[in-house]
Chain A
Amino acid sequence: GEDVEQSLFLSVREGDSSVINCTYTDSSSTYLYWYKQEPGAGLQLLTYIFSNMDMKQDQRLTVLLNKKDKHLSLRIADTQTGDSAIYFCAEKSGGYQKVTFGTGTKLQVIP
């Protein structure tokens, strides 16, 4: 079955890089996603990566995928206070579009 795990909390200083990690169990995962959720809001899609890719960069965001270890990471360069939120890792597998989410990592940015 599918299972996605993340650490619960990360604290960084403004201007530093943040790295949020995620592990998943489903070897048939096809796409892996990073979503951001601010308090009281819905989910904002930040980026996603195909399972046949190792890395994807999008402005301040870098996604690294180690398919052998089933490990996904999101690096945020020059972290800002506006980046404070909960970040969810998610994976999609199978022919349909069910997406399985982790429990989320709360990122706190200290000014």
Chain B
Amino acid sequence: DAGVTQSPTHLIKTRGQQVTLRCSPKSGHDTVSWYQQALGQGPQFIFQYYEEEERQRGNFPDRFSGHQFPNYSSELNVNALLLGDSALYLCASSLAARTRGLAGNYEQYFGPGTRLTVT
């Protein structure tokens, strides 16, 4: 059973550029959430996708956008990169409440992350 996968593993970009990160959820999961983890900090919620729509968003600017595909995989796009965008970007997958039901599995599984460095 494949877990959550992310690509690429590492990425180096310069200020002002744009970047796209990719995530494939755990088999059977339909919801993808993205988190940013700066060095020495806990992960911060960026947004969540379900049924190809953004369902919830954290405190991140519009430079951060995403997409979910019919196969439940997802992309995170960041435009006009800033030095402060350097971080580990984590993708997490889970089952939506509507899918799992009240007695379902509430676990959220994380991928290994993409390390983004902005110079």
A residues neighboring B (CB under 8 Å): 4, 31, 33, 35, 41-45, 48, 88, 90, 92, 95-104
- Of all chain B residues, the one with the shortest Cβ separation from A102 is B42
Given A42-B110, A45-B108: A103 in contact with B94 (beta carbons within 8 A): no
B contacts with A, residue count (CB < 8 A): 27
A-B residue pairs in contact (CB < 8 Å), sample of 10: A42-B112, A44-B110, A45-B107, A88-B43, A90-B42, A99-B92, A99-B108, A103-B40, A104-B41, A104-B42
- A interface, over-half SS: strand
Please indicate the chain A residues that have their CB under 8 angstroms from the CB of B63 in the complex.
none
Say yes or no: is B68 at the interface (Cβ < 8 Å to chain A). no
Q: How far is the CA of A73 from the CA of B29 in the complex (A)?
A: 29
Number of A-B contacts (CB under 8 A): 59
Instruction: Assess the A42–B42 pair: CB atoms within 8 A.
Output: no
Task: Report which of B33, B106, B107, B113 forms a contact with A98, defined as CB distance below 8 A.
Answer: B33
Are B110 and A43 in contact, with the CB atoms below 8 A?
Answer: yes
Known: A42-B90, A96-B56, A103-B41. 16 other contacts (CB 8 A): A31-B106, A42-B112, A42-B113, A43-B110, A88-B42, A92-B106, A96-B55, A97-B96, A97-B97, A97-B108, A98-B45, A98-B56, A98-B58, A100-B45, A101-B43, A103-B42
If A88-B42, A95-B97, A99-B45 touch, whether A43 touches B56 (CB-CB below 8 Å) is no
Asked, given contacts A43-B90, A48-B107, whether A98 binds B112 with beta carbons under 8 Å apart, the answer is no
Instruction: Enumerate chain B residues within 8 angstroms of A88, measured Cβ to Cβ.
Output: 42-43
Q: Does B73 contact A (CB under 8 A)?
A: no
Question: Is B31 close to A, CB under 8 A?
Answer: yes
Which residues does chain B contribute within 8 Å of A33, judged by CB atoms?
A: 108
The docked-state distance in angstroms from the alpha carbon of A99 to that of B43 is 9
Per-residue A-contact encoding for B64-97, CB less than 8 Å = 1, 0 else:
0000000000000000000000000010101011
